[in-house]
Amino acid sequence: MEVKVFDNDVDKALKVLKNKLSKNGLFKELKLRRAYEKPSVKKKRKAIEARRRLAKVQRRRYR
C-alpha cells in the first residue's frame, strides 16, 4: 500500500492511509487478535458476519 505526500502535508497523507487501512480491515483484524478467541465464539462471530454480508447483498439486489 502506498500513500503519496503532496506539499509536505503529512497530516492529510496519514488521514488517507488510515482510511485505506480501515477499508482494508486491518484495524478490525488487530482488535480481534488482541485477545484469544475461543473456537466456538470465533465460529459464531463468523456466522453472524456472513449473515450480515448476505443481508447487505440482498438489500442491494432489491432496490
* CA dihedral for 26, 27, 28, 31, sign (positive or negative): positive
Strand ranges in 1-63 using DSSP code E only, listed in sequence order:
none
The whole-model pTM stands at 0.62
Compute CA distances 12 → 17, 22, 26, 32, whole Å. 9, 15, 19, 28
Higher per-residue confidence, 63 vs 32: 32
Q: Domain ranges in the chain?
A: 10-61
Q: Which residue type sits at 51?
A: R
What cell does 50 get?
456472513
Give the pLDDT of residue 61: 86
List pLDDT tens digits, range 14-50: 999 999 999 999 999 999 999 999 999 999 999 999 9
Opening angle at CA 30, ends 28 and 33, nearest 5 = 110
